[in-house]
A and B are shown apart, each in its own frame.
Chain A
Amino acid sequence: MTAPPTGAPQGLLDVSGTSRVPFTRHVVVEMRKMFDTRAGKWLMVTIVAITALVVALLLIFAPDEGNNFEAFLGATATPQGFLLPVLGVLLVTSEWGQRAALTTFTLEPHRERVIAAKVVAAVLFGLAAIVVAILVAALATVIASVDDMWGAYGFGDLGNFALLQTMGIVQGLAFGMLFLNSAAAIVTYFVLPIAFNIVTSIIEQVRDVQPWIDLGTAQTPLFDGQGLTGEEWAQVATTTLIWIVLPFAIGAWRMLRAEVK
């Protein structure tokens, strides 16, 4: 007679010794996925290179008494503001378009954990970009050495700046989730504000409520370092709700329910 098999009874899987995939591991893997394809890698390189480039250009071609830290850091905001959302979009669409999501969701059937890991990865990329911007701007500031080179720039301003850039990348992520297609998400992201401007220039009534519904208008005070009033914060909140939270919610719903094939 053969001995009965040890361990789990016939046909049953003993899963008691396995723990689920830790969330931090998902975050690390999601970040790694941005480095191991050409598109992702070049986008990263481009963000760093352009950040350094605009600061260098400012330093060389516009030697000005006003070129303090705030001016240098401010110069990085626009190019990064363009590129970070694209990074956010790619975080979702690069694997969806290539159907690699099939593997991702087989390894982790709890899709909400993957989505959450992508959000954290996006925020970390955003913060990393800001750190690069700060380092480059600080270096340029030291080189320029104008009087009062650090100005009145404080942590509050830095916080607003970080918030702005992070919102951009998360919005890109949300649009990526909403469209699940790089081209559609990126084009919509850039065309919508333009379309909105056209609408407001034609329809007068919209202009009054513009700061409450137009993300760009509401975010402007975050740039200029004047500090925000309560009303301005409220406007940041409503526009964020419309342009970031809502697309994110619909996109997440779509990703959670989609048949992956």
Chain B
Amino acid sequence: MIEVHHVTKRYGGFTAVDDVSFTARQGRVTGFLGPNGAGKSTTMRIMVGLTPATSGNVTIGGHRYSDIPNPARHVGVLLDASAQHAGRTGREILALGAATMGLPEKRVDEMLELVSLTPKEAKRRVRHYSLGMRQRLGIAHALLGEPRVLILDEPANGLDPAGIHWMRGMLRTFAQQGGTVLLSSHLLHEVEMIADDMLLIGNGRIVAQGTKEELLRTTGTLVRAVEAEALRDALADAGFPVKADAAHLHVEAEPVQVGEVAARHQLTLVELRPADGAGLEALFLELTAETQREGVVA
């Protein structure tokens, strides 16, 4: 279990992390979601003491990270897969970790096999690794000490579909066996597929948190009709709040209620479905749009 209590990090006048509190529960995968620059990596670095917090504190399994003896035996950390000496071989990087943790050399081979790095690839210098290979090595390093807690910053970054599929299964099993997983991403879809619980961070602040079910709960109905204007008026007359975007009407009602209104007015529907997670997606898009660098594309 990871507990973050009112953590704030200021760089000069800029607040990168703003009074963030949350709990990543044991036995669950918690997704930490936010657009670029939202403060995910900073929060994770604060968790393991690499960045000092301006205020607030974090406990992992009830301990401050620095109070955990041989912490890598309890907490597996992947913050930046490229932060390795490029001149070392992949195998040597794991071997150094294993040596520090006091693990036998064979643990290195097990981990290499687990993340599907071949012995030949493991002998190559990390300078010559592809992004995905580096990521696999980083995951292997995080798992080396058989930890009960995982803190992974963008672990899926650079993995191919097979790699992502494997990682999803691995993290699921890890959590089912009583582990705690916190993983960050800037892709809603990715987190949606792996996480049980979700946190949404924007501009350093937590803007939404809860179980995936809570956050993705059906919020109305999406509908499309040939006679868009007529349907809109009919629904409004029936007393349902309606919003329109380019393609759909978004109605605060059950799909069956929308269908009935359409039938009564003999309107032709081409699409009718629950607006799953549309609320979260809209919130996320809004956050992303605020920090979007390209400007709005018309």
- Interface, chain A (partner B; CB < 8 A): 5, 8, 10-13, 15, 18-22, 25-26, 28-29, 32-33, 36-39, 94-95, 98-100, 102-103, 105-110, 257, 259-261
Instruction: Tell whether, in the assembled complex, residue B61 and residue A13 are in contact, meaning their CB atoms are under 8 Å apart.
Output: yes
With a CB–CB cut-off of 8 A, which chain A residues contact B25? 11
With a CB–CB cut-off of 8 A, which chain B residues contact A98? 83-87
With a CB–CB cut-off of 8 A, which chain B residues contact A11? 1, 25-26, 61-62, 180
Instruction: Tell whether, in the assembled complex, residue A106 and residue B72 are in contact, meaning their CB atoms are under 8 Å apart.
Output: yes
B134 in contact (CB, < 8 A): no
Instruction: Tell whether, in the assembled complex, residue A13 and residue B74 are in contact, meaning their CB atoms are under 8 Å apart.
Output: yes
Cβ-defined partner of A38 (8 Å) among B87, B93, B100: B87
Instruction: Tell whether, in the assembled complex, residue A20 and residue B50 are in contact, meaning their CB atoms are under 8 Å apart.
Output: no
Give the distance in Å from the alpha carbon of A157 to the alpha carbon of B282 in the complex.
78
Give the distance in Å from the alpha carbon of A20 to the alpha carbon of B60 in the complex.
17
Instruction: Tell whether, in the assembled complex, residue B100 and residue A15 are in contact, meaning their CB atoms are under 8 Å apart.
Output: no
Highest count of chain B CB atoms <10 Å: which of A28, A99, A105 = A99
Nearest-CB distance from B146 to chain A (Å)?
A: 11
Given A11-B62, A32-B99, A109-B71, are A37 and B87 also a contact pair (CB < 8 Å)? yes
Give the distance in Å from the alpha carbon of A12 to the alpha carbon of B149 in the complex.
10
With a CB–CB cut-off of 8 A, which chain B residues contact A39? 87
With a CB–CB cut-off of 8 A, which chain A residues contact B72? 106-107
Instruction: Tell whether, in the assembled complex, residue A21 and residue B50 are in contact, meaning their CB atoms are under 8 Å apart.
Output: no
Question: What are 27 of the A-B contact pairs (CB < 8 Å)?
Answer: A11-B1, A11-B26, A13-B68, A13-B148, A18-B74, A19-B69, A19-B70, A25-B100, A26-B100, A29-B96, A36-B88, A37-B87, A39-B87, A102-B80, A103-B84, A103-B141, A106-B48, A106-B71, A106-B79, A107-B101, A108-B100, A110-B66, A257-B52, A259-B50, A259-B52, A261-B45, A261-B80
Cβ-defined partner of B101 (8 Å) among A15, A21, A38: A21
Given A37-B85, A38-B87, 14 extra CB contacts under 8 A: A11-B62, A13-B74, A18-B69, A18-B73, A20-B69, A21-B69, A32-B96, A32-B99, A99-B80, A99-B84, A105-B50, A106-B71, A260-B50, A261-B80
B4 in contact (CB, < 8 A): no
With a CB–CB cut-off of 8 A, which chain A residues contact B51? 259-261
With a CB–CB cut-off of 8 A, which chain A residues contact B41? 261
Nearest-CB distance from A254 to chain B (Å)?
A: 14
With a CB–CB cut-off of 8 A, which chain B residues contact A12? 1, 61-62
Given A99-B80, A102-B83, A103-B84, are A29 and B62 also a contact pair (CB < 8 Å)? no
Nearest-CB distance from B291 to chain A (Å)?
A: 20
Least CB separation from A5: chain B residue: B178
Give residues 15-36 of B contacting A (CB, 8 Å): 25-26
B37 in contact (CB, < 8 A): no
Cβ-defined partner of B50 (8 Å) among A13, A28, A110, A261: A261
With a CB–CB cut-off of 8 A, which chain A residues contact B163? none
> Lowest 8 A-B CB distances belong to which pairs?
A13-B61, A11-B1, A99-B83, A20-B69, A109-B66, A37-B87, A98-B85, A102-B83
Interface residue range, chain B: 35 or more
Give the distance in Å from the alpha carbon of A102 to the alpha carbon of B77 in the complex.
10
With a CB–CB cut-off of 8 A, which chain A residues contact B96? 29, 32-33, 36
With a CB–CB cut-off of 8 A, which chain A residues contact B192? none
Instruction: Tell whether, in the assembled complex, residue B100 and residue A29 are in contact, meaning their CB atoms are under 8 Å apart.
Output: yes
Give the distance in Å from the alpha carbon of A106 to the alpha carbon of B79 in the complex.
10
B92 in contact (CB, < 8 A): yes
Instruction: Tell whether, in the assembled complex, residue A21 and residue B100 are in contact, meaning their CB atoms are under 8 Å apart.
Output: yes
Instruction: Tell whether, in the assembled complex, residue A25 and residue B65 are in contact, meaning their CB atoms are under 8 Å apart.
Output: no
With a CB–CB cut-off of 8 A, which chain A residues contact B45? 259-261
B102 in contact (CB, < 8 A): yes
Give the distance in Å from the alpha carbon of A5 to the alpha carbon of B176 in the complex.
13
Instruction: Tell whether, in the assembled complex, residue A37 and residue B88 are in contact, meaning their CB atoms are under 8 Å apart.
Output: yes
Least CB separation from B89: chain A residue: A36
Cβ-defined partner of B70 (8 Å) among A21, A37, A95, A100: A21
Least CB separation from B51: chain A residue: A259
With a CB–CB cut-off of 8 A, which chain A residues contact B99? 25, 28-29, 32
Instruction: Tell whether, in the assembled complex, residue A20 and residue B70 are in contact, meaning their CB atoms are under 8 Å apart.
Output: yes
Given A20-B70, A38-B87, A94-B85, are A103 and B63 also a contact pair (CB < 8 Å)? no
B210 in contact (CB, < 8 A): no
Instruction: Tell whether, in the assembled complex, residue A107 and residue B80 are in contact, meaning their CB atoms are under 8 Å apart.
Output: no
B55 in contact (CB, < 8 A): no
With a CB–CB cut-off of 8 A, which chain A residues contact B259? none
Instruction: Tell whether, in the assembled complex, residue A18 and residue B70 are in contact, meaning their CB atoms are under 8 Å apart.
Output: yes
With a CB–CB cut-off of 8 A, which chain B residues contact A29? 96, 99-100
Instruction: Tell whether, in the assembled complex, residue B102 and residue A107 are in contact, meaning their CB atoms are under 8 Å apart.
Output: no
Give the distance in Å from the alpha carbon of A25 to the alpha carbon of B65 in the complex.
20
Give residues 202-260 of B contacting A (CB, 8 Å): none
With a CB–CB cut-off of 8 A, which chain B residues contact A8? 61
Give the distance in Å from the alpha carbon of A260 to the alpha carbon of B44 in the complex.
12
Given A11-B1, A29-B96, are A106 and B74 also a contact pair (CB < 8 Å)? no
Give residues 97-152 of B contacting A (CB, 8 Å): 97, 99-102, 141, 148-149
Highest count of chain B CB atoms <10 Å: which of A8, A11, A18, A25 = A11
Given A28-B99, A39-B87, A102-B50, are A15 and B141 also a contact pair (CB < 8 Å)? no
